[in-house]
Structure 1
Amino acid sequence: MPHFELSSSQYRLLAETVLSSLPDPATEEDAQLEWSARGLNWEDPELDVSELIFLGLVSREQGLFAMTHLGAAVHYRAVYEAAEERLAAVAMLAEAAENVGPRFSRAVRRLAQGSFSFGEALAEVARND
């Protein structure tokens, strides 16, 4: 599978089209409201929907933007890579803090959930109260 360098806005659009197709704001009046409700900004210059269509990640048919099979593969690859990075950080934290007190389990849990970065988790474990 080819590697794509997409903006965070484009990855967000892919994630939303996994859930359901999006109406084209250029053809539907209420489409901008749906985009806003889903946390997307049609006018975001980094979004560049035409690039996603050109790359074959999204299609435009009958007034809807829908994800293609390639788009789904790119989306799930990004999700997998993010999870892999998070789990690698959890493993590094466990190695770095072998003999630490009860804050360790809380830091590991928050790191695995993605609410802590690796640095924040290390700081939590090293904190002296």
Structure 2
Amino acid sequence: MARGANSIARIVALLLAFAFAFFGYFKTFASIAVLAQHHAWTLALPVAAGRIVGATELAAALALLLGAASARWHRFARGGALYLIVNQACAAAVHLARGETGALPQNALLAGLAAIVAAFIVRRQATSST
């Protein structure tokens, strides 16, 4: 059972890593006009802050990749997953304030997947220390 959960959590971490690598790259390097076309929530922030959010999403993606690649790096994956939960809560709040309720299911899904990764990493850490 633990082996199957381990495989599922690694797959989820990889999927999240690829998604947030794309999202982060987009928010960090795309023009403001392109971000506006795609309703990027970071447009509600000052430009520099939006770029920083994108860079932190790239860092979270890297942390998830490291954690999926090796149990030795599981703390990075847990940290990245926890950051992404907060990130998606902020994104949902901004989307809600802007009346973009259509984006809320995506925020909930991404936060839920990040919670699965974070919960698994915590469980694996607890079982490996006994």
TM-score (ref. length: structure 1): 0.32
- Higher percent of residues as strand: 1
Larger Rg: 1
TM-score, normalised by the number of residues in structure 2: 0.31
Bigger helix share: 2
